[in-house]
Amino acid sequence: MNRERVKELSIKAMDLRKVVLEMIRKSGGGHIGGDFSVMETLVTLYFDIMNISPDNKDDPDRDYFVMSKGHSVESYYAVLADKGFFDTQELIDTFSQFGSKFIGHPNNEVDGVEMNSGSLGHGLPVAVGMALACRMDKRPSRIYTVMGDGELAEGSVWEGFMAAGHYKLGNLCAVVDRNHLQISGTTEEVMTHENLHQQVESFGWNVLEANGNSISEMSEAFQSAMNVDDKPTLIIANTIKGFGGGDVMENNVGWHHHVPNDEEYEKIVKAIDERREELENE
Amino acid sequence: MNKIPNRQAICEVLMEHAKSDKDIIALCSDSRGSASMTPFFKEFPEQAVEVGIAEQDLVGIAAGMAHAGKKTYCFSPACFLSTRSYEQAKVDVAYSNTNVKLIGISGGISYGELGMSHHSAQDIAAMSAIPNMRVYLPSDRFQTAKLIEALLTDDSPAYVRVGRNPVEDIYSEESTPFEMDKATVWKFGDGIGKKIVIVACGEMVRPALEGAKSLEKEGITVTVLDMYCVKPFDKDALIKAAEDADLVVSVEEHAPFGGLGSDVASVVSANKPCKVVQMALPDDHVITGKSKAVFDYYGLNAEGIAKTVKGNL
């Protein structure tokens, strides 16, 4: 990806954080910390990597995406809206409101959402199934899923790692949003994943690591995964929970699903604006 | 004595259709032998997926394949399929509305002597409680085949429970009255005297019919409903049958909560109130033994059904 495009998408990721902020402020709930950590992963996938758009959403040859860490739905919806699947203002106005289709976890009644999620540990096995089916039909589709690092404690994730390795699913690429924090504390305190790279590699996967808050690094990792035909790829996206939200938010476990008050909101907006300006001037 | 279990009938139907429909996929969790699906796996290896002993993965993978255009049939013992992968059935199948058919094999107390871990006496309740999940318990191999033929024509989720052992034929090659989601109605007696209704599903249909025949000889008029479609429950058939009934009896190979008996009681009480008696497995550890011996112990046989009817008239 050229520098201008990296800059453009990095700025987009900052702008979309503001959409997330508005959704959460208006609805009074959401999982903002993980939304901010995973944003560059989603922007890279939807605006650089995946063959998916409102025009080809029903094409069987499209690329497929499963948001396994469904609680980061605000960032997912914000990206889908920006991609043109639905209106951003409608999203902000109705997210989590009574009777809304924009439920607080992914809902496939919303255009662009492939599968419902919310219960953790579901996305990888589902993505394995999609990858198997697409390979059977010799389709060019690639399958992507994004998991949280706390989610890795779910046993079904490891069933999925095992099956994908067994079937050598080169058309499957999973991402772990490795922000090291979950609702009760650090992932290492709650249930350690210190050897994640080696663990998943031992299941027959190609494992890559990248700065998950860097559009260019994530793009490079996704491109690299496309060159591996005989193994699924896991990208450990090393991220900062709350990234972009400044000192008040970044790496702070309390922001898993905290709704910012007025003072915090002002600080977060200021931090996003400052980061955005830095990106503009790069 | 019929030697073909219902699970084998499923395999035969799927194999017939798999020849021309390459989107039909069978998935097993190290269960192809117990599911009678070995012939399918041998003849259609490109349409067969083995996931190992991993029921959550089984259902999640099936849902993903279905979302990508496949017609998936998941085979696993009902005890594991209905509980270990319950959340996948709820979220990945029913909630996401994927074309997954969950086939619970060796259901109920088929594994009678293997203990409670291997009994599925809660699967009707569990699966029925999931919105967008249908629940079927076919009674014999002919009805099972008709059901699978029907399920092949739709793209919605369903759970089907079949037993491990062959059951005596009720229907035949020539005569298997079947309408999707409609109970099959049997009538015995001359309409004079006491009128009762027996509602049964799965392996309990055969003893219900035999019990009805013995009651008929005693001058009791009996309507038996083969309610293979537990969900969507055929309310109309039951309301019609219960019109002038003195007693309604439900018979099921299931715990006494949330199964066929609960549906029967709620439909009868709301529409044609009369005495309703439920026959089911106990809310307890089921006694050890082969399934027939266990059924006999709890009175879930023709004699027990007839006795229950007479004791409640």
For A233-267, give the DSSP string.
EEEEEE--TTTTS-TTTTT-GGGSSPPP-HHHHHH
- Of residues B45, B87, B57, the one with CA closest to residue A70: B87
> Do residue B67 and residue A126 have CB atoms under 8 angstroms apart?
yes
pLDDT reported for residue B83: 96
Determine the 3-state secondary structure of B52 from DSSP.
coil
pLDDT of residue A221: 98
Number of Cα atoms under 13 Å in the Cβ half of residue B146: 22
Partners of residue B98 in chain A, C-beta under 8 Å: 115
- What pLDDT, on a 0 to 100 scale, did the predictor assign at position A256? 84
The rounded distance, in Å, linking the Cα atoms of A258 and A254 is 7
Whether residue A29 lies within 8 A of chain B, CB to CB, comes out as no
User: What is the average pLDDT value for chain B, to the nearest integer?
Assistant: 97
- Please give, rounded to a whole number of angstroms, the shortest distance from the CA of A8 to a CA of chain B: 33
Asked if B64 lies within 8 A of A108 by C-beta distance, the reply is: no
Chain B residues closer than 8 Å to A141 by CB: 68
B97: chain A residues, CB-CB within 8 Å: 108
Is B131 touching A (CB cutoff 8 A)? no
The answer to whether A125 and B96 have CB atoms below 8 angstroms apart is no
pLDDT band with cut points at 50, 70 and 90 for residue B113? very high
Q: What one-character DSSP code corresponds to residue A277?
A: H
Q: Are B212 and B263 in contact (CB under 8 A)?
A: no
Q: Does B92 touch chain A (CB under 8 A)?
A: yes
| A125 chain-B contacts, CB cut-off 8 A | 56-57, 59-61, 64, 88, 92
Q: Is A232 within 8 Å of chain B by CB?
A: no
Which pLDDT score is estimated for B193?
A: 85
The Cα A225–Cα A74 span in angstroms is 27
Residue A178 contacts B, CB cutoff 8 Å: no
Which residues of chain B have a CB within 8 Å of the CB of A128? 57, 60-61, 64
Could you give phi then psi for residue B131, rounded to 5 degrees? -60, 145
Q: Under an 8 A CB cutoff, do B57 and A163 touch?
A: yes
**C-beta separation of B225 from B198 below 8 A:** yes
List C-alpha distances in Å: B295 to A113, B55, B201, B251.
Answer: 48, 28, 14, 11
Digit-coded pLDDT (tens) for B160-193? 999 999 999 999 999 999 999 999 999 999 888 8
Q: Do B64 and A125 touch (CB under 8 A)?
A: yes
Inform me whether the C-beta atom of residue B29 falls under 8 Å from chain A C-beta atoms. no
**Nearest Cβ partner for A133 among B51, B52, B69:** B69
Within 10 A of B264 (CB to CB), how many other CB atoms are there?
28
**DSSP one-letter code for B202:** G
Q: What is the ipTM score, two decimals? A: 0.96
Contact of B68 with A129, CB cutoff 8 Å? yes
Instruction: Please identify which residue in the block is written with the tokens 């009896």.
Output: B249
Q: Out of B25, B60, B70, name the one closest to residue A122 (CB).
A: B60
Do B69 and A60 count as a contact with CB atoms less than 8 A apart?
yes
Probe site for chain A from B30, B59, B67 (most A CB atoms < 10 A)? B67
Distance from CA of B62 to the nearest CA of A (A): 6
**Which residues in chain A have their CB less than 8 angstroms from residue B61's CB?**
125-126, 128-129, 132, 163
Q: Tell me if chain A has a CB within 8 Å of the CB of B95.
A: yes
**Could you tell me the strand order of the sheet in which B275-279 lies?**
B184-188, B221-226, B195-200, B247-251, B275-279
pLDDT value at residue B298: 98
A36, A41, A47, A49: CA torsion to nearest 10: -170
Q: How far is B26 from chain A (nearest CA, A)?
A: 12
Q: What is the pLDDT of residues B51-91, one digit of tens each?
A: 999 999 999 999 999 999 999 999 999 999 999 999 999 99
Asked if B96 lies within 8 A of A129 by C-beta distance, the reply is: no
Residue A248 has phi, psi (to 5 degrees) of: -65, -25
Chain A residues near residue B96 by CB distance under 8 angstroms:
108, 115-116
Pick from B251, B72, B65, B256: which is nearest to A66 by CA? B65
Q: Where are the alpha helices (DSSP H) in A83-154?
A: 88-94, 123-136
* Contact residues on chain A for B63, CB-CB shorter than 8 A: 115, 126, 129
In Å, how far is B86's CA from the nearest CA of chain A?
A: 12
Give the pLDDT of residue A156: 98
B contacts of A166 (beta carbons < 8 Å): 52
Q: Using a CB-CB distance cutoff of 8 angstroms, which residues of chain B are in contact with residue A114? A: 67
Among candidate residues A188, A277, A248, the one with its CA nearest the CA of residue A36 = A248
Report pLDDT digits (tens) over B237-284. Answer: 999 999 999 999 999 999 999 999 999 999 999 999 999 999 999 999
Does residue B60 sit at the A interface (CB-CB below 8 Å)? yes
Write out residues in chain A with pLDDT < 70, as ranges: none
What is the rounded end-to-end Cα distance, in angstroms, of chain A? 16
Distance CA B221, CA B190 (A): 6
> How many CB pairs below 8 A link A and B?
100
Token pair, residue A87, equals 């209106």
Helix (H, G, I), strand (E, B) or coil at A143: strand
Give B-chain residues touching A64 at CB under 8 angstroms.
Answer: 67-68
pLDDT band per the 50, 70, 90 thresholds, residue B143: very high
Put simply, whether B68 touches A (Cβ < 8 Å) is yes
pLDDT of B236 above 90: yes
